[in-house]
């Protein structure tokens, strides 16, 4: 004799799945409606970076965001003076809305964020790339190669090269990368272990702590900090909000 229990359980499960799907669609519709409205996205102040705001994660959270969480928050550092913070965060002299990107060469979503920023349209952007190697020794090695290339005036070219190609974490790999973009390979290898590269890595780590970043990719667009693979519409809205406290 059939009791009907399996059928009832299947029906309950089906209703639960339909309910979850409806909630998901409602959330997406709500986010889409907000994104299509005029005005800046929802933000909150950053106590350790006065004058800067943080994009509310509820407004931009996605599965990609969750994959970026690599660090514990730890003890917040002492705030930096505005002038020193701006000098460390953004490249001086370039026109356009300043953008600072914190990335790791092993981060799977960092190239996608970089691509969105480059193809954003709207206000002109001035992008400063920060090497923040948080995903292991190979990441640290690649970051040192890029920063050492910067001492020969070619950081951005090396950054683009390493984003497209796997770098063997060895002296031979560093030589190959240097030669690929026409650098002095011997000098690059020596500079990788020098004080200038170490100081730059330490400075970037401090900036990341000041903004409360927990993983890559992270960015500061004008005066607003973001984490994760933020959608192009939100990035454009942040850029349109202005240059922020460093150039406002």
3-class secondary-structure state, position 219: strand
Residue 27: the pLDDT is 37
Give per-residue pLDDT as tens, 4-34.
444 544 455 444 444 443 433 333 334 444 4
Whether residues 124 and 25 share a domain: the answer is no
Whether residues 5 and 113 share a domain: the answer is no
84 within some domain: yes
Residue 92: the pLDDT is 81
Domain carrying residue 146: 41-240
User: Cα–Cα distance between 226 and 65 in angstroms, integer?
Assistant: 10
Residue 43: the pLDDT is 92
Whether residues 198 and 225 share a domain: the answer is yes
Q: Splitting the chain (248 residues) into consecutive groups of 10 residues, what average pLDDT does each group show? A: 46 45 38 51 91 78 45 71 94 89 96 94 91 97 99 98 96 98 99 99 97 96 96 94 87
Q: Is the whole model's pTM more than 0.85, yes or no?
A: no
246 within some domain: no
User: Cα–Cα distance between 69 and 208 in angstroms, integer?
Assistant: 13
Give per-residue pLDDT as tens, 211-242.
999 999 999 999 999 999 999 999 999 999 98
User: Cα–Cα distance between 102 and 215 in angstroms, integer?
Assistant: 9
CATH code at 125?
Answer: 3.40.30.10
Residue 94: the pLDDT is 79
247 within some domain: no
Per the CB < 8 A criterion, the answer to whether 109 and 234 are in contact is no
Whether residues 103 and 204 share a domain: the answer is yes
Residue 34: the pLDDT is 44
DSSP-assigned beta bridge partners for residue 219: 101, 226
Whether residues 194 and 233 share a domain: the answer is yes
């Amino acid at each position: 004799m059939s009791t009907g229990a399996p059928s009832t359980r299947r029906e309950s499960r089906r209703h639960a799945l339909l309910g979850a799907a409806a909630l998901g669609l409602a959330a997406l519709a709500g986010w889409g409606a907000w994104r299509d409205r005029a005005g800046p996205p929802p933000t909150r102040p950053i106590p350790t970076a006065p004058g800067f705001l943080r994009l509310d994660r509820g407004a931009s959270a996605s599965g990609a965001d969750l994959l970026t969480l690599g660090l514990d928050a730890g003890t917040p550092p002492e705030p930096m003076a505005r002038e020193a913070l701006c000098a460390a965060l953004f490249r001086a002299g370039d026109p356009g809305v300043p953008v600072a990107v914190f990335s790791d060469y092993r981060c799977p979503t960092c190239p996608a964020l970089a691509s969105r920023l480059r193809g954003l349209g709207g206000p002109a952007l001035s992008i400063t790339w920060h090497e923040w190697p948080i995903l292991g020794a190979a990441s640290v090695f690649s970051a040192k190669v890029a920063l050492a290339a910067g001492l020969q005036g070619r950081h951005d070219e090396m950054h683009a090269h390493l984003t497209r190609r796997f770098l063997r974490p060895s002296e031979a790999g560093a030589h190959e990368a240097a030669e690929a973009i026409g650098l002095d390979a011997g000098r690059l290898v020596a500079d990788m272990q020098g004080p200038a590269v170490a100081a730059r890595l330490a400075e970037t780590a401090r900036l990341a702590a000041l903004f409360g970043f927990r993983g890559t990719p992270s960015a500061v667009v004008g005066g607003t900090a973001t984490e994760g693979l933020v959608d192009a519409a939100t990035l454009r809205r942040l850029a349109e909000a202005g240059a922020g406290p460093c150039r406002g």
